Structure 1
Amino acid sequence: MDPLPLDADFLFRMVMTVEGAAIGQTPAGDRRVGLVTGGHFSGPATKGVVLPGGADWMLTGPDGATRLDVRVMLRAEDGQLIGLTYTGIRAGPPDVLARLAAGEAVDPATYYMRTALRFETGPGPLEWLNRVIGVAVGQRPPQGPIYDVYAIR
């Protein structure tokens, strides 16, 4: 049997601003928390703002990779609220990851940053998001994370 195709539709680009806080070394690894302070998103599916108050609980393990665990709230231009939950991985060569950690601008082609997303929203024009799985290709410039978000068909 041939594998089934995996198709995706581009939904939007999400740009977030975050403030960092370091918990530090824990039994599970190096724990940092990025507090979401705002942002915006725009694309063929919808556009709007990223509301302040979300957080990214990042855990860097002994392999140098950072596991992302994020919850944020979006407000579409028409006022519809969208809960967004995603997990992911940021990994790459140690020197590239060290430059990212130092807040330097790094070419996103030199590291791996991918996430799996779930949406939650109420009745309205974006209700269909409740029934899709999203994936995103991310990058981490000094100003905050940027994600190109896709719906898997």
Structure 2
Amino acid sequence: MTGAPVPGLEHAFDVEVALGALEDHGETRQGHRRVVPIVGGSVRGLFDAEILASGADWQIVRPDGTIEVDARYTAKTPDGAHILIHATGVRSGPPAVLEALLRGEAMDPSAYYFRTVLTLEAGGEEHAELQRTIFIASAVREADRVTYSAYRVT
């Protein structure tokens, strides 16, 4: 009997997500809730698609400033397939860096931690493999967008 295989990473695709204005919902039973509308963007790589203005990132801001990411949005491929992208993760870092990001200031991505786990949902056999794979991403927060590179976990 052998041990479990050691996972590896393969670059899969790059994403640019355009963001709308942050909505601060205040303290809720879940914590400090913020919602960031997703208003467009693109996916390039393993599949190409345009991100539709149909989703949002429903965030919880922890007392230490760490942001729990829970984003869901739809991308549409040139052949008309819809792919639901669900990204969960965290963005954390020194308070001054997180506050600067909130103000829309450019920050060196190495100054904060922004990682997500991606699961994809798609109809039809052409994109079925996307549903049988876990992806992880390293992301960058900009004033009006998030960009990230996604890696297939092998």
| TM superposition score category, shorter chain reference | over 0.9
Question: In the aligned structure 2, how far is the partner of 1:107 from the partner of 1:89?
Answer: 17
How much has 1:123 moved relative to structure 2? 1.1
Match of 1:70? 71
- Within a 5 Å distance, the mapping from 1:47-62 to structure 2 comes to 47-62=48-63
In 2, Cα distance between equivalents of 1:102 and 1:110:
16
Deviating 4+ runs (over 4 angstroms): none
Q: Which residue of 1 aligns with 2:25?
A: 23
Distance in 2, Cα, partners of 1:130 & 1:2: 25
Counting only pairs closer than 5 Å after superposition, residues 121-140 of structure 1 correspond to structure 2 as 121-140=122-141
Alignment RMSD: 1.5
> In 2, are the aligned partners of 1:46 and 1:77 still within 8 Å (CA)?
no
The residue that corresponds to 1:83 in the other structure is 84
Q: Name structure 2 gaps, 5 residues minimum.
A: none
For structure 1, list consecutive stretches of 5 or more residues without a partner in the other structure.
Answer: none
Question: Structure 1: how far apart are the matches of 2:143 and 2:42?
Answer: 16
Q: Which amino acid aligns with 2:117?
A: A
Amino acid corresponding to residue 76 of structure 1 in structure 2:
T
Report how many residues are paired. Answer: 152
Identical residues among aligned pairs (%): 34
Determine the C-alpha separation between the residues in 2 that align with 1:126 and 1:147. Answer: 21
Distance 1:90 1:63 in 2: 11
What is the letter of the counterpart of residue 15 of structure 2? M
Which segment drifts farther, 143-152 or 131-140?
143-152
TM-score relative to the length of structure 2: 0.92
TM-score of the pair, normalised by structure 1: 0.92
AA in 2 matched with 1:28 = Q
**CA-CA distance at 1:27 after TM superposition:** 4.0
